[in-house]
Amino acid sequence: MEGENHVPDDLTPEEKQELENIRRRKQELQEDIQRLKDEIAEVTSEIENLGSTEERKNMQRNKQVAMGRKKFNMDPKKGIQFLIDNDLLKNTSDNIAQFLYKGEGLNKTAIGDYLGERDDFNIQVLHAFVELHEFTDLNLVQALRQFLWSFRLPGEAQKIDRMMEAFAQRYCQCNPGVFQSTDTCYILSFAIIMLNTSLHNPNVKDKPTVERFISMNRGINDGGDLPEDLLRNLYDSIKNEPFKIPEDDGNDLTHTFFNPDREGWLLKLGGGRVKTWKRRWFILTDNCLYYFEYTTDKEPRGIIPLENLNIREVEDKKPVSRAAPSSGAQRDYIKHQRICCSSSLADFVLHYSPFCLGRTASSFTSQTTKIR
């Protein structure tokens, strides 16, 4: 600093003053530069933190959406309500219809069951769902192929009736003038579905001919007959290519339980008035515990979400898990294990499985989603 502050003796007073001004200006500029660096570093840090926070929010949201889809596949109404309660879905018929129409990770059978319900709101969703289909310039068989691929037609006649009525209204809206009324479209659509079954079901021995199909559909166009060429084309289309039944999405429950992290028998404390211990088959996968009455059950009796639940050591003479060991070798207390307070319940079950799954019967206190 002494070298920087040194003033040569041979400078005039004016030059010395100018040098001092230059040095002072240099110091101010250096301070400004440092201040800008500090501000840039602060803004960069805020941006990084913001990005990290948004990333965490997106990850949490994606997990909740995945959970909602699984709940929907087991119980459509409960799954929709879960998504609404967690602000992942708006409680409007249009929004729910969009969710079902996209169908990502959704069981096609569950979609069909939900759309076929007779509640006023479900019927609104059904009509909004059908409105998302574009049938313009498609013949009736082509439109049916598109429509019946977006879900699996339920087995109940009343549900099928409501869905086909909504389909007929939409088809006539997209193709005005093809039929005299929506009733004509509705009746012919049913006739085509029955024809598909008769032609391609191996148990049906008496296969209908095109002449019989035409005869069966005489007078359905408000008392008049439909063009014979139209009926022949519809018949040939079904005969040459049957309707494809959509396979349920690969993210359904069968896939979920196919490769679990852990599985085994546990004792679960019942939630009724009389608290009793019941032996249940548990599966740990995707940060959730699913429990079944029997190992052969296809659907769980309930779900125990493990998201945001932590394990901590407690001062209690009883085992943390309230274990109910069945042999001396299994009388190990989980409380004697050194468990970090930040451990998640899923990690705990995964890493301390000798005490939790397969060897020791245990119960967990948690929010449990009842299925039935």
- Where do the domains of the chain lie? 136-255, 262-317+333-351
Per-residue CA distances from 358 to 256, 267, 337 (Å): 20, 11, 18
Predicted pLDDT of residue 289: 78
Q: What angle (nearest 5°) sits at the alpha carbon of residue 158, between those of residues 152 and 249?
A: 15
247 tagged catalytic: no
Show Cβ contacts of residue 147 under 8 Å, excluding neighbours closer than 6 positions: 130, 133, 135, 167
Predicted pLDDT of residue 310: 63
Tokens representing 23 are: 């040095």
Phi, psi of 190 (to 5 degrees): -60, -40
Phi, psi of 116 (to 5 degrees): -85, -5
**% pLDDT > 90, the chain:** 39
Phi, psi of 30 (to 5 degrees): -65, -40
C-alpha closest to that of 241 among 168, 148, 109: 148
Predicted TM-score of the model (pTM): 0.58
Residues 115 and 100 sit within 8 Å (Cβ to Cβ)? yes
The domain made up of 262-317+333-351 is a member of CATH 2.30.29.30: yes
Q: What is the mean pLDDT of residues 181-189?
A: 94
Catalytic residue among 156, 263, 307, 313: 156
C-alpha closest to that of 295 among 283, 285, 281, 279: 281
Predicted pLDDT of residue 319: 47
Q: What is the pLDDT of residues 77-91, one digit of tens each?
A: 999 999 999 999 999
Predicted pLDDT of residue 258: 54
Among the CATH numbers 1.10.1000.11, 3.40.1350.10, 3.30.1360.120, 1.10.3210.10, which is that of 136-255? Answer: 1.10.1000.11
Residue 65 pLDDT > 70: yes
Q: What is the pLDDT of residues 131-183, one digit of tens each?
A: 999 999 999 999 999 999 999 988 888 899 999 999 999 999 999 999 989 99
